[in-house]
A and B are shown apart, each in its own frame.
Chain A
Amino acid sequence: MITFDAVTKRYADGTVAVDNLSLEAPTGEITVFVGPSGCGKTTSLRMINRMIDATEGRILLDGDPVRDIDPPKLRRGIGYVIQQAGLFPHKKIVDNVATVPLLLGWDRGKARSRAMELLERVGLDPAMGERYPFQLSGGQQQRVGVARALAADPPVLLMDEPFSAVDPIVRTSLQDELLRLQAELNKTIVFVTHDIDEAIKLGDRVAVLRVGGRLAQLADPKTLLSEPADDFVREFLGHDRGIRRLQFVGTDGLRLRTDLTVPAGFSGGSPEPWVLAVSDDGRPLGWLRGDGGGGEPEPYGTFRPGRDSMRSALDAALLSPSGCAVAVGADGKVVGVATREVLDAALAEAADG
């Protein structure tokens, strides 16, 4: 656990970057620092590994003040990932990843094989280990940055806008990858971003900071969206707060109808306005009119009950003319249909809770 205890940072020129910050980043969780540019996110993060020393207050790592730990020793136990990856241009990827193990005095062979293992773990071909950093795309470099931070298996990981320099598609896949890794590794992660969507997606807890380095709110993402502490936080969250909150509403309770599916050759005769054509192996083909009119199957949207959120289910419903969302299993086969009425009821419940 990382504890900020009334921490203030005043730079030499008098700028107060962080003002009396007290919070805890619990062990095994992702704590996100989010806020507008210049609100002191980077400063707060760097005070943890003492790249910057606090002016007042204390930062504790599992109860021990970081001020009492020799910086190089402290830092070797804390992974650090930054926006530009910061890879060493003169070292091969594998040697980049092996950096901290080598600093810790592992033998070369062991450090290298650990590095190879990590490259695979972050989704890179180990053959890339023999390349130099400039031969990798931005997204790949960022993965190497994560692998390098994890190499010595530190319990704590600090990440400063690690995914903000890559395009949105790569960013999404890096975020998913981080969540997958975190599910396996359970690190104590402090993640800095100025992107509230990223904060909500990744954070177990989100600390919203305002300019001047003061904590505006510390809450889990769901609470943040439903109960913003003040106007600053509300404004920072943006307007589609309600829709985004559905991301935290589960779909396992939805009552699915199984009587709306018909085989591929359906030619009419159902009392329902819309029915779902399903192939012989159980996959969705598209929506057909219940009276057999219309011809070609119309588009549909799917979600996975239990795994996907209400936001995905609603999105799936909005994609089809029937207004219903198709529920599929992990194998892609239809398990049922969530009708508009069922979704309505679930939304009403979510709005209350």
Chain B
Amino acid sequence: MGEPLLVRLIADGPPSLWEWIARNWDTGRVGSIKDLLGDHLVMSLVPIVAGLVLALPLGLASARWRWLYQPAAGVFNVVYALPSLPVFMLLISVTGLSKTTVIIPLTFYAIAVLLPAVVDGLGSVPDHVRQSAVAMGFTPLRRLVQVELPIAVPVVLAGLRVVAVSSISLVSVGALIGQGGLGMLFTRAYQNPFLPPVVVGIVLIVALALVADGLLVLAQRLLTPWVRARRAS
């Protein structure tokens, strides 16, 4: 290979960055920047949403039946710990070289983070608050929806912020099986050393992560004004 990749990339001279972007933004073919951006969004958002949707009932059940929590958390942590490549290889035999093969492990990662967040969030409801809800005549379901879940929201949202950013960044690993979203820009640059795709890939991924995080912070402010008020005091 000779010189390291980065040296070659930089030695490439002043990047014709804008020109490259303009040429590759929307070619109408698979692999345009726009196309990859769309893929990236799908492969990162689906695990975030699916992770939340699955972690909520699992977390509720774990909080209700404590014995369930450790085994459940254990399963997702083990999957989290497995290296991506063997996981992909395992899944390819079922789902092929598709987006689903990337989405499934990322959903597991999301659950690994969100399950403890939901359980801790419910655990953050002070006992006297729960007791007084019972004493006032809330039915269990109403108590969950109107008292316990709202109080758990700040902790769950903190977990969701971690999940959103890591999920957006981890999608690039899918490039290993040709499904990396914007991550494909990196492999492409490796095969054909050229700086602009790398820059565009990094900038777009970071920008996506920042936007997602910003939206979640905004949601936090709207959903939990009582937490904001507490900080301000």
Contacts and interface: CB of A to CB of B under 8 A. Distances in A.
Interface of A: 49, 51, 71-76, 78, 80, 82-91, 99-100, 103, 132, 134-135, 148, 158
Contacts of B150: 90
Contacts of A73: 137
A90 B224 contact: yes
A37 B110 CA distance: 46
Contacts of A91: 226
B131 A134 contact: no
Given A82-B128, A86-B131, A89-B151, A75 B137 contact: yes
B132 interface: yes
B230 interface: yes
Interface in B144-160: 147, 150-151
B171 to A, nearest CB: 34
12 contacts: A49-B135, A51-B134, A80-B135, A84-B128, A85-B128, A86-B128, A86-B129, A88-B133, A88-B147, A89-B151, A135-B233, A158-B135
Contact of B136 (A76, A90, A132): A76
B136 A100 contact: yes
How would you classify the secondary structure of chain B's contact residues: helix, strand, loop or mixed?
helix
A305 B64 CA distance: 60
B152 to A, nearest CB: 10
Contacts of B20: none
A74 B142 CA distance: 16
Interface of B: 126, 128-129, 131-139, 142, 147, 150-151, 224, 226, 229-230, 233
A75 B132 CA distance: 10
A84 B135 CA distance: 14
Contact of B138 (A72, A82, A83, A86): A72
A88 B142 CA distance: 14
Contacts of A85: 128, 132
Contacts of B134: 51, 75
Contact of A87 (B129, B138, B139, B142): B129
A71 B140 CA distance: 11
Given A51-B134, A75-B137, A132 B129 contact: no
Given A51-B134, A80-B132, A86-B129, 9 more contacts: A49-B135, A51-B135, A85-B128, A86-B128, A86-B133, A88-B151, A90-B226, A100-B136, A132-B230
Most buried by B among A73, A83, A91: A91
A214 B224 CA distance: 47
A139 to B, nearest CB: 17
A86 B226 contact: no
A306 B136 CA distance: 40
Contacts of A75: 134-137
Most buried by A among B126, B134, B137: B137
Q: Which 7 A-B pairs have the closest CB atoms?
A: A86-B132, A76-B137, A75-B137, A80-B135, A84-B128, A86-B128, A72-B137
A209 to B, nearest CB: 21
Contact of B229 (A72, A74, A88, A132): A132
Most buried by A among B128, B134, B150: B134
A99 B135 contact: no
A134 B138 contact: no
Contacts of B132: 80, 82, 85-87
Given A82-B128, A86-B128, A88-B147, A100 B229 contact: no
Most buried by A among B131, B224, B233: B131
A115 B136 CA distance: 15
A135 B229 contact: yes
B1 to A, nearest CB: 58
Contacts of B151: 88-90
Nearest to A100: B136
A79 to B, nearest CB: 9
Contact of A51 (B126, B131, B142, B147): B131
A103 B138 contact: yes
Contacts of B129: 86-89
Nearest to A91: B226
A134 B233 contact: yes
